Amino acid sequence: MMIWRPSTAIAIMSATILVDGFSVNVFTTSVQQPRRQRTELLGANAAGHSDDKKLSKKLSKKEQEELWESNALCFDNIDQAAPTKHITSNTWPRSSRGRKLRKRAARPWIHGVEIRELQSPHPLAGLGQMQLGLFTATSFQQCDIVGEYCGEVFDADDGGEYATYLEYRDEKYALGVDAQHEGNECRFINHYQGISDKPNVVMKIVYVEELPRVMIVCIRDINVGEELLLQYSDEYVQEYIGQNNEL
């Protein structure tokens, strides 16, 4: 359970998938107080939950670069009847019409979710301060993307209590994103333990416009009115949730 206190921290890790054509990488999240260092922790879709570990494969940096070079040969090929330019994001019309289309399509808020104050008998209610959670206002299907986990990008181990990895955990200087001071609705997603038997969403990294982004992905069908729940780390659970359960 996530207790929204200044002294607390988050830690989550996920596995590798492919979402809507985007390459999704393994990542972990966590920030510890007071040292404010992130540690590798188990997540809802980690390899330990797989029935067949042979289905999981992580590409080395060299293997991925070789794939990029091979894939690049399929674009702007003069031997093709209609050569295709490689792009990393949608191209909008460069005109007033295009600006109107972008404005019409834009959504400043995440669609289909509601931040609610938690009331009894919710396990987080009545802990001495207002507790919040993120609930669905519409139904979601398995593999749907709820939205992006947004925040301030940082490097090294400088993140705050709402930080998650933005790159592969094993990168030498992996970037992170911290929603402590700037964020969106996804920062209010609580830990599943004590609320549900299992989490119903997981964090995944995708690349959009050449840059990494953290998406919240549904791991099962979710009905209207359900609370969105992630799996935090065992370390976080032992240090913070255990303390609060004794209060």
Determine the Cα–Cα distance for residues 28 and 41; give it in Å rounded to an integer.
6
pTM of the model: 0.72
Q: HSE (CB half, 13 Å, CA atoms) of 13?
A: 20
Q: What is the pLDDT of residue 129?
A: 78
pLDDT at 126: 77
Encoding tokens for residue 48? 């330990």
Could you report the per-residue pLDDT of 184-221, keeping only the tens digit for each? 999 999 989 889 999 999 999 999 999 999 999 999 99
CB 167 within 8 A of CB 244: no
Q: How many other CB atoms are found less than 10 A from the CB of residue 26?
A: 21
Q: What's the pLDDT at 161?
A: 73
Written as six digits, the tokens of 219 are 């791991």
Name the architecture of domain 1-46+112-231.
Answer: Beta Complex (2.170)
Per the rule left: phi > 0, alpha: psi between -120 and 50, beta: everything else, 108 is alpha
**pLDDT of res. 14:** 39
CB 144 within 8 A of CB 219: no
DSSP secondary structure, 98-133, as one string: HHHHHHHH--SS-TTEEEEE--TTSTTTTSSS--EE
pLDDT of residue 159: 65
Query: For residue 19, what pLDDT is reported?
Result: 43
Structure tokens at 128: 């001495």
| Domain locations in the chain as residue ranges | 1-46+112-231
- Render each residue's pLDDT in the chain as its tens digit; 247 residues: 343 333 333 333 333 344 444 334 433 333 333 333 333 333 333 333 334 455 667 788 889 899 988 888 888 776 767 778 888 888 999 999 999 999 999 999 999 999 999 998 998 887 767 899 999 999 999 999 999 999 999 886 666 678 888 887 666 778 888 898 999 999 999 989 889 999 999 999 999 999 999 999 999 999 999 999 998 766 566 655 665 554 3
Question: What does the alpha-carbon distance between residue 183 and residue 203 come to, in Å, rounded to a whole number?
Answer: 15
At residue 245, the pLDDT reads: 52
Q: What is the pLDDT of residues 73-104, one digit of tens each?
A: 888 776 767 778 888 888 999 999 999 999 99
CA distances from 157 to 31, 36, 180, 234 (A): 8, 6, 14, 20
Pairing of strands 113-117, 152-154: unpaired
Closest by alpha carbon to 25, among 178, 156, 217, 183?
Answer: 217
